Structure 1
Amino acid sequence: MVEMSVASLNTRGIPLRRSQLAERYAAIAAAFEASTVDVVCFQELLTYWHLRRLATRMPSFRHVSFRPSVAGPAGGLATLSRLPVARTRYHRFPLPRRTADLPLRALFHATLKGALVTELAGPHARLVNTHPVANFDGDWSESNRYTPLLRSELTRLAEVARDAQAPTVVCGDFNVAGDSVLHRDFVAKSGLTDAFDGRCPPTFRAEYLHNGQTPYCIDFILVSDAITVRATEVLFTGTEPLPGGPVALSDHLGLRATLSLP
């Protein structure tokens, strides 16, 4: 068995005004560079500037996996690895059907969404990094207006996860609650197992929610049957003393899992 440590973090969600974005990214990069994590799946790297702010400060993560697009990494997804990478692929999610129920913003963002697949040269494994469309209603019931769109994206993600000749790890900000039917259906279709075994705390910080909304676990590290989970950890739970004052490094908490692979 070979041991590998994988982390996942949505990096950018805090409102831009006075967010100390450059300083936050420097602190995130420093934390991972000083860690023993082997692979980090990042979400919301929306431009090449965002990617450079992390990659240049994580020199030991020599392998940077993303699919180029006009503005930055496709889907805002990039995977940085200390382990050699054999191949990178990107799978777009199905284009959404226009509906009056959904805001144009959500429909536009859905056209950019997908899954980044990074195949490692050793150990023989696949990392799938993803970030489905955000549900700003905070309601994952069957009747919610975002449910058909999210179900379509998660169905495609399950197909990508199943199409594997190697042990597979799926990471990201799924934008669905862990106790929702959408998430349970995805787990059943993909055949994956939650590395945290359903015990992960809410990963979206309550202070960034709209009034009255409830924080949920919406970020996950999921693994295929061939992988054994040795340990898990929640990252960036506190604030950091940046030049402009103490701040959370993201509106999301990060996740880490130590895994054993054949």
Structure 2
Amino acid sequence: MSEHVTAAVLVIGDEILSGRTKDANSGYIAHYLTQIGVDTREIRVVGDEEDEIVAAINALREKYDYLFTTGGIGPTHDDITADAVAKAFGVEISEDPRAVKLLLERIKPEDLNAARRRMARIPHGAELVENPVSKAPGFWIGNVIVMAGVPFIMQAMLDGVAPKLTRGTPMISATLDAHGLPEGAYGEGLGALAKKHPSVSIGSYPRLQDGRFVNQIVLRCKDAEALASAEKDVAALLEETALRHRL
């Protein structure tokens, strides 16, 4: 197990960029990966433009240990992810007998028309990613894992590939309530503590609750001892700041 295993997520689809469809996949993947020790470092969204998809795939697969893509592997003309991945890797793409066999588990032979057969087109050299929901597979080539855009299908695919991933040291976290203190009251002190504990990610996150802002400070680290030390210092900062505000 490596200390750091990194990943990126590439969400593909004009419908995401137009706002018609809300992306539910990238956050799910990032949270899922965090739980198994894979750090998501970047999330991108691109439309259904082959050159844009190819450029994003090549940039992200070179930069991170894994690249997860969602969307664009269905039966319609704008489902071009498989072609773009093949182009990015410089390999041929054709109908894969393994994928055809899977499709026939759900679709009658007489109903397996040209549109549906598009879902059986797999870049050469790729392994299939099982789809227990609708059978149309994703695929895995190099460090790129290509999954469906429909969230519950993507989630099932991710469950299937997760056991095969190299995992890093899991991230652990601690959350402290700022007890109604405004961020400006502790911001300077929090910045100093971030420098004191460089291995710990420290963030302040406001949210609106019952018509007023409340803040939480979240600390994240892979080392339990370092996290505990930072948490103690942040708690002391909040206590001191609260006391000053009451005086």
Please, what TM-score do these two structures have when normalized by structure 1? 0.32
Q: Say which structure is richer in helix.
A: 2
Q: Say which structure is richer in strand.
A: 1
Q: Which has the higher contact order (CA 8 A, sep 6+)?
A: 1
Please, what TM-score do these two structures have when normalized by structure 2? 0.33
Q: Which has the larger radius of gyration?
A: 2
